[in-house]
Structure 1
Amino acid sequence: MTTETELMLKGYGLTTAEMTYHMPDYPHVLNTYIWQDYDLAPDHDRLLHFIGFWRDTLDGVLHSVRYSHRKLIAPNEWRNVVGEFRYH
């Protein structure tokens, strides 16, 4: 299993999607669902996979999807510290 830090170092960023959908029992009523996962821009494979899962499995028809993507750390912002110096 890959840790969140390893994903961020590989270029993944946090993707947040707000999905507005029609309630199955009340089709004129809209509801929202918030989804978050680490994903690669600009393809957003994980987000598209989840939208496909939603369409194939869930009863609520999607009305719209708004998303944002933010890289929390970039590979050039990370430094591997190999040693430590102590000064008294």
Structure 2
Amino acid sequence: MKSPAIYILSNRPNGVLYIGVTSNLPNRIWQHRRGYLDGFSKQYRTHLLVYYEQFDDMHSAIAREKQLKHWKRTWKIELIERANPDWLDLYSSLF
């Protein structure tokens, strides 16, 4: 799974949300979980992968990330709950 992707992390259901983009989703989530990435995600302990989308190219992934970052919180929660109503950690589904 080394295609460009956007992802949403949370610290708990309906908790703090973090949106990111990467070219290697399993590796990036592993980095977040280990605390290797300083900043917002580390500070708020957003380690649960609750949503992701894959893309054919990085340009499309970055455009989607920017779009989601401008969405209202309620829209982001609706997006997550349509795909993952129980807010399960999707990390293991990457393998």
TM more than 0.5? no
Q: Which has the higher strand share?
A: 1
Q: TM-score, normalised by structure 1?
A: 0.40
Q: Which has the higher helix share?
A: 2
Q: TM-score, normalised by structure 2?
A: 0.38
Find the structure with the greater CA-based Rg.
Answer: 1
